[in-house]
Each structure stands twice: as structure tokens, then as C-alpha cells.
Structure 1
Amino acid sequence: MLAKPNRLTRGSDYKATVRRGSRCAGTHTVTYVGRTGDQAVARFGFIVSRQVGSAVTRNTIRRRLKAVCAEALPSVRGGASIVIRALPSAATADFADLRADVIRCLERKAAA
């Protein structure tokens, strides 16, 4: 689970990261990585829309993405602002596929 300082909580932070950050598309996710100079820790946010599936499915996907990001947190540079958007295909993907998508994009865009 991600600690409170490692989470994006404001809509303006999400919007700024998606609009100004660099984008990395995977099979099941799209990852946006922005840079904020004022934060010492990396912060993550997740977008899982209704197109992905029912509330149970969306929450399952969100929990899986949070687990992957918590695992990858030590390798992400400080001050990074990261938003991960789940695509509808994420509903049928297993954990290993989601993990591979996210880790690949984090290594390319947000590695320390």
C-alpha cells in the first residue's frame, strides 16, 4: 500500500501531470510522468474509468496498480509525479501483465 505522502490527491495535480508529463503507452495502461521540483518523494495517482468494468473490477485493478507502484517505489526518482490510467483491456489482464506494463514505463520515464 502506498503511504499518504506517495499519493496524488488533488485534481489539479492529476491534470498537470497528464497535460505536461511525458507519456508511455502499454498494452493495458498509459503512464504519465511529470516532474515537480518541490517534492522529495515520488507521488502516484490512478485513473480507472467505468469503461474498465464494474466497481469490483475497477477496485481490483486499482489495488493491483497500487501494489506494483509500492514495489517499484525505491527505483523511482524523487519528485516524480506519476499518473497511471488503466485501459479497458486491464480488466482481463492478469497481475503479471499489468506489472510488466507499469514497470517498463517506469523504467523508461521515471527511473532514478
Structure 2
Amino acid sequence: MACLIALGSGLFSTFSLIIACIVKTRERFMGIGQVLTMPIFFASNAIYPIDIMPSWLRTISLANPLTYQVDALRTLMLIGGQSKFGLAVDCSVLAAAFAVLVAIAARLYPRMTT
């Protein structure tokens, strides 16, 4: 479970790093971060099960890494918890999203520091 938490933390920290590389001030970073983070949270299965979402929101939720993070953590933390996608799928999606964000951050960061 610690590995899963570290992977999710790394994923969203890298997301924040990308935002920080793009904006110029701390105030903009905080504002843009909130504007992007809230839809990510509400478009995941953190509040509502995917099964009761409208089809358009379900599609967005399935493309959202937070959905897979929440699914995996619920599976591991709840007694009798069952994963909707399977832990292997959850971890694979998180790892793939993390790799993509690291690649984006690696391209942006050196450009911003020179």
C-alpha cells in the first residue's frame, strides 16, 4: 500500500511541478492549481461510484488517474474491498500516467531554468 501511495503522490506532485513550470507567479500557480484540481477530484470515483455517473462523466472518470488511485486504496483499506478494475490495472494506469507526466515535466523544467 505504501508503494501505491508513493506512486499517487509522485503523480500529483509532478502534475503540480508542470503547472509551476508554466506559470510565473505563486498566486497564479495556486489559482490554476485549484481550477485544475477540483474538476479532477469531482470527475473521479472519490465521491460517487462510477456506475451511477452519467455516461459523459463516466468517460472522463475512466481517463482520470485519481479514479484508479481511489479504486486501489479502497480495495486495500476496506475489509472485503473489491476493485472495480483490478489492482494490476490500477497500478498500471497510475504508473503510465506518472511516466507521461514525468516526461512532460522533464521537457519543461530545463527550459524554465535556463
TM-score by length of 1: 0.32
Larger radius of gyration: 2
Q: Write 1 or 2 for the structure with the bigger share of helix.
A: 2
